[in-house]
Amino acid sequence: MQTITVNLGERSYPIHIGAGLLGKPELLIPHFAYPRAAVVSNETVFPLYGERIMQTLKNAVIDAFAVVIPDGERYKTWETLDTIFDALLARAFDRKSTLVALGGGVVGDLAGFAAATYQRGVPFIQIPTTLLAQVDSSVGGKTAVNHARGKNMIGAFHQPGLVLADTGTLDTLPDKELRAGLAEVFKYGLIRDAHFFAWLEDNLEKLLARDTQALAQAILRSCEIKAAVVAADERESGERALLNLGHTFGHAIETALGYGQWLHGEAVAAGMLMAAELSHKRGHFSHDALQRARKLLQRAGLPLNPPAIPAAKMLQLMQIDKKNEGGHIRLILLRDIGNAYIDSDVTEADLLDFLQHYT
């Protein structure tokens, strides 16, 4: 097991990474002020790992009950959130009890938002079971539900007390979701660490083959980068926006197609390459760097182009983005591999012209 700390003063918390962690009650016990928990999971993950985590909580002398929700991005809604609230209220769940998120990004976001808002805030723990959740969505305290007009537009910052990333859960992850998770891993190399990006180029086959050591290293480095950025800018007032490379384009793709038609990581992959191409067009990203980014995504079996969405529709959806300020679209672009920056100077006319090349 390896441990990283997200340094946020009194709200600092550990990220434990390793195999077999679901069966270790000693990792959970220090994070319960009161021995009661609600485990939020979905219909896919709970049959795989629910019994194990419920037994681990029992071994920790923690009274727990499960709240199982439907699986899929299309269920990341107010209606599903309400079913969680109903279950908590029916069991007289109080402020000293702890909510546990067992699943991927949708479960983590919904359970986190429930924890942020139920009785004005209760403690929660993230136990991510997908690669994307282990390297990204479980860390940093972003919680949300989707709206028909925009992804993750309704939510709250609410930090977990612990992130427990059991790499053993990746054994049951479908190949398609493993590849989608790698998109977020690639993102960290592109925005912050050229050496890590080169390591990913050299070790991609091991990652796709689920080599335990390679996956653990990729998760560790991704979490190190995210933890450092979050510690420096918890509420995304500046530097943390860099973590959204590809997301302005990607979220627009997800919203336009309908949530769940493309996996989040697939949309982010296409969005990152769009951002790289726009960066190159603006003279800030070399042809060689662009080709390296394209080749890595291609080798990973990720989308290289967005679906055929009208440029005007894409632009309209990109205008509804949490990074935007003063009516201006703010994009995360690249100067080089490992060097991202925030660009607020791309005009809507230029952006529309750029988007038309994809339709």
Q: Report the catalytic residues.
A: 120, 142, 184, 226, 236, 240, 244, 247, 251, 264
What are 147's strand-pairing partners?
150
User: Whole-angstrom Cα distance, residue 156 to residue 159?
Assistant: 10
What are 5's strand-pairing partners?
14
The answer to whether 16 and 162 are in contact (CB under 8 A) is: yes
* Contacts with 316 (C-beta within 8 Å, 6 or more apart), sequence order: none
DSSP 3-state percent helix, strand, coil across the chain (nearest 5) = 55, 20, 25
123 C-beta neighbours (distance < 10 Å), count: 21
DSSP states of 40-101: EEETTHIIIIIHHHHHHHHHTT-EEEEEEE--SGGG-SHHHHHHHHHHHHHTT--TTSEEEE
Location of structure tokens 């279950």: 87
Tokens in use for 213? 């050591």
User: Whole-angstrom Cα distance, residue 129 to residue 100?
Assistant: 12
User: Whole-angstrom Cα distance, residue 108 to residue 71?
Assistant: 12
User: Whole-angstrom Cα distance, residue 207 to residue 214?
Assistant: 6
Q: Of 170, 188, 192, which Cα lies nearest the Cα of 179?
A: 170
DSSP assignment, residue 244? G
User: Whole-angstrom Cα distance, residue 80 to residue 57?
Assistant: 25
DSSP assignment, residue 309? -
User: Whole-angstrom Cα distance, residue 201 to residue 46?
Assistant: 34
* Contacts with 257 (C-beta within 8 Å, 6 or more apart), sequence order: 307, 309
The answer to whether 12 and 234 are in contact (CB under 8 A) is: no
